[in-house]
Structure 1
Amino acid sequence: MPVESPLIQSLRTAVAAAPDDVPLRLHLAALLLDAGHGDAAVAEAAVALQHAPGDAEARLLMARAMGVGGQVTPDPEASPAPQIHQTPPAQAPAPARPGFDWKAAQDQVGDVLPPRFVEAPLTADGSGDAGDADAWDVERPGTVRLADVGGMQEVKERLEAAFLAPLRNPELRRVYGKSLRGGLLLYGPPGCGKTFIARAVAGELGAAFLSVSVNDVLDMWIGNSERNMHEIFRTARRQAPCVVFLDELDALGGKRSRSQSSGMRNTVNQLLTELDGVDAGANEGVFVLAATNVPWDVDIALRRPGRLDRTLLVLPPDGPAREAILRYHLRERPIENVDLGKLVKATDGLSGADLAHLCEAAAESALLDSARTGTVRLIGMKDLLAAARQVVPSTEPWFASARNVAMYANDGGMYDDLVAHLKKKRKL
């Protein structure tokens, strides 16, 4: 195997830094070919053709690299290709052929290039969704853990006791006869990190993550919504261990007694069937988490034991969590003399989304001031505290509604944790 010259090695580095630069890649392929690296030249020319299928120079270079003696039929719409000097081969040239055998070239470089397009059969309604369970976007096990969730120690402890500990200790689970059936329902005001906590739970379990929203399920065609729900759980079973995260559960599993649509009722029925598992043990390794802002609008059958039978109240971030969120949103902004302790006290009651908006508003204030004065200045405590005074907690309307539920609809102690929080804050 010929040794690559320093020039070729430098060009490889340049191509790696600019993979879409077709002329640079073709120059590398030509040098490789002249140096006797035929296979490497074929690979580089094939990548160039993937980026520019009609490039005449790339086709000509591929023909040389494949050992074709004849000329490539030029593309009439392609621009004239620059002349490339070709060193006469030592052996007799192969007989000329009228064109380039692209099928043979594709077979030879098939292990170098992935397919450019994935063809999928159309369904009868022409939607292009063949109902394949692998069509759903399943995220591989992530690196987010509960340790990455700032503060919220009470939430973490309840997650560990009610959900994670039995899953992490299969031997103890068998000793005590603890079943893996059932799921976890996260509820609370909007913007407080329910989705992030669900991803952290998936990371703790080392499981894949499949996020499902109402747009993923509902369909205008009769029967398609139920089919979509089935395909989601079939995908999760194939990818087990997998966390299925049902976002906005009140939209996917609202009370059937209030629904005027038979299609929506059938979708809820299908969800109940999937949570139970069609066969015994069908959902082994499938962990169902759901989130909602209004758990009182969720169909009561979904909260039956064996389904979403455990609930966890996710409240606005506490002090340590607010500090972590503020650090995150200020980490790449030009700031000076920011007293996080003082800012954390001034933002009590704000959700994670409110804190992100606060940092954005402070940055906007400093930017406009710099534009008016013509002098760039950093973001300071004055900007952040002014923004904190202007931001109205988005959680207040939720607590106003939740207070009525806690007082008059806490059947069976379903919302005891909410009642305890409201009493602690003297809102009940």
Structure 2
Amino acid sequence: MTDPLIESLRRAVERAPDDALLRLHLAEQLLAAGAVDDAIAECATVLSQDPTCGEARQLMARSVTPAEPAAGGFDWAAADRELDEIVSPMFVADEGGRDQSVSAWEAENAGVTLADVGGMHTVKDRLEAAFLAPMRNPELRKLYGKSLRGGLLMYGPPGCGKTFLARAVAGELGARFVSVGLADVLDMYVGNSERNIAELFDLVRREAPCVLFLDEIDALGQKRSGTHNAAMRGAVVQLLTELDGVAHRNDGVFVLAATNQPWDVDPALRRPGRLDRTLLVQPPDVEARASVFRYHLQHRPVAGIDLARLAKDTNGFSGADIAHVCETASERALLDSARSGKVRMIEMRDLVAALSEVRPSIGEWLQTARNVVLFADDDGTYADLRTYLKKVKKL
């Protein structure tokens, strides 16, 4: 900073470090000169001396809030020139209909494999046996007459890594990955939801080998008997049609779906040739919990963290719960640094304190699952879930 006034103010502050008004005047000048980080640092110093200083709080808020554009400052001529440079808009239909080469979704590389999933060996073994082994061994598949028809439905408590597992499966298969949720497909206009689903499956067929991941399938493929909305019923029917198309007409398209509420999924979706295999994704085990902590802390300033103790103390936590613990611990260290004016590392005490605030979030799901197993599982559909509930003493 070469501004003479700012340099003079800096020297004055060095001689009188407790003069809050002088330091705030320096912060004002720094902010006006565009040195936002320096201005924030000066405000934090004042607040560490007097946390109730209103002027310092206001200046801090101004420093961290992007400035509003000045009235009349928008360059309309430049905007017009940019619009003129656009050759053609996306999603424009010609006389023959919509351009099928343009898609609202994008197939991407998975970027991870099951080796990147910490722990969860039971889940990995089931994935290998039920899904991956037949895909990897075409000669054995032919010998034993094993069909590639059908898909896999993963279910379990929220926040336990079903999406990450689906991406890892795509990585294991060396396939492209497309993830779709309810909001990506449903449309307020009649017929558009069905058309979106058809276009989605056209995309994954063009990108084969490709893993299509349908997230929250209970919302997209909910029971038609309980659906009074004609558009939703039409979307479910279209989804069933496309799944049958994958089974009979296409190679290299692998469908995975995830839900927290498998009992709300239309039974037709789980018939042979559709989502006919299920996998219970349990909350992370102790090894997986340590991996989740390591993942969420690896890019933060930490010191003296005992991962083994944290993993042991978070039995019953979902991956999302552990991420919340790490975020809460980071907030504690950040606020402490702001009050003291001295940056410090995230320490074990911050994580222990965060654990006293964050409670496991899967309790309600476990209660619902218990009721389903006790009163709505006459055919043994949820045998794995029954075994898990007995293991955690919820049944």
TM-score using structure 2 length: 0.75
Between the aligned partners of 2:88 and 2:368, the Cα distance in structure 1 is 49
Aligned to 2:292: 325
Where in structure 2 are there 5+ consecutive unaligned residues? 1-76, 79-84
SS at match of 1:375: coil
Q: Give 1:131 deviation, angstroms.
A: 5.6
Judging changes above 3 Å, is the alpha-carbon distance between structure 1 residues 118 and 288 closer, same or farther for their aligned structure 2 residues?
Answer: farther
The answer to whether the 8 A contact 1:191-1:353 is kept is yes
Q: Which has the higher helix share?
A: 2
Q: How do 1:135-146 residues align onto structure 2 when only pairs under 5 Å count?
A: 135-146=103-114
User: What do residues 274-298 of structure 1 show as CA deviations (whole Å, max 9, x unaligned)?
Assistant: 00118x7422211000001100000
Query: Of 184, 189, 198, which aligns to 1:221?
Result: 189
Hey, what's the Cα distance between the residues in 1 that align with 2:312 and 2:182?
37
Q: Where does residue 350 of structure 2 map in the other structure?
A: 383
User: Cα offset for 1:118?
Assistant: 5.3
The answer for the alignment partner of 1:343 in structure 2 is 310
Q: 1: CA distance between counterparts of 2:134 and 2:343?
A: 55
Q: Secondary structure at the match of 1:386?
A: helix
User: Conserved in 1, the CA contact under 8 Å of 2:91 and 2:102?
Assistant: no
Q: Which amino acid aligns with 1:341?
A: A
Instruction: Give the distance between the partners of 2:303 and 2:103, measured in 1 at CA.
Output: 48
Question: Could you tell me how far 1:372 is from its partner in structure 2?
Answer: 2.0
Shift of 1:143: 2.5
Q: Which runs of structure 2 are paired with 1:349-360 in the superposition (5 Å)?
A: 349-360=316-327
Between the aligned partners of 1:420 and 1:389, the Cα distance in structure 2 is 30
> Quick one: which of 161, 167, 172 aligns to 1:199?
167
Cα shift at 1:377: 2.2
Question: How many residues of Structure 1 are paired with residues of Structure 2 in the alignment?
Answer: 311
Q: Distance in 2 between matches of 1:133 and 1:302?
A: 29
Question: Are residue 288 (structure 1) and residue 255 (structure 2) matched?
Answer: yes
Structure 1 gap ranges (5+)? 1-76, 79-114
> In 2, distance between residues paired with 1:258 and 1:320?
41
The structure 1 segments of at least 4 consecutive aligned residues displaced by more than 4 Å after TM superposition are 115-118
Contact 1:191 1:354 in 2 (8 A): yes
Query: 1:396 — aligned with what?
Result: 363
Q: TM-score, normalised by structure 1?
A: 0.70
Post-superposition shift, 1:159?
Answer: 0.3
Give the distance between the partners of 2:390 and 2:365, measured in 1 at CA: 16
Structure number with larger C-alpha Rg = 1
Deviation at 1:160, TM superposition (A): 0.3
Contact 2:210 2:253 in 1 (8 A): yes
1:266 to 234, 238, 241: 234
Distance 1:289 1:134 in 2: 24
Match of 1:307 among 274, 280, 287: 274
Q: Percent identity?
A: 62
- Displacement of 1:122 after TM fit? 2.8
In the aligned structure 1, how far is the partner of 2:320 from the partner of 2:128?
25
Q: Residues 284 and 317 of structure 2 are in contact (CA less than 8 Å); yes or no, is this contact kept in structure 1? A: yes
Q: Please name the residue that 1:73 is paired with.
A: none
> Whole-Å Cα distance in 1 between the matches of residues 174 and 104 of structure 2?
19
Q: Which has the higher contact order (CA 8 A, sep 6+)?
A: 2
The Cα offsets for residues 113-132 of structure 1, whole Å up to 9 and x where unpaired, read as xx9755446349xxxx9362
Correspondence for 1:171: 139
Mapped partners of 2:300, 2:180: distance in 1 = 33
1:122 equivalent in structure 2: 92
Q: CA deviation at 1:134?
A: 4.1
- Per-residue displacement from partner, 1:221-266 (whole Å, max 9, x unpaired)? 1111111111111111111111111111011100000001111111
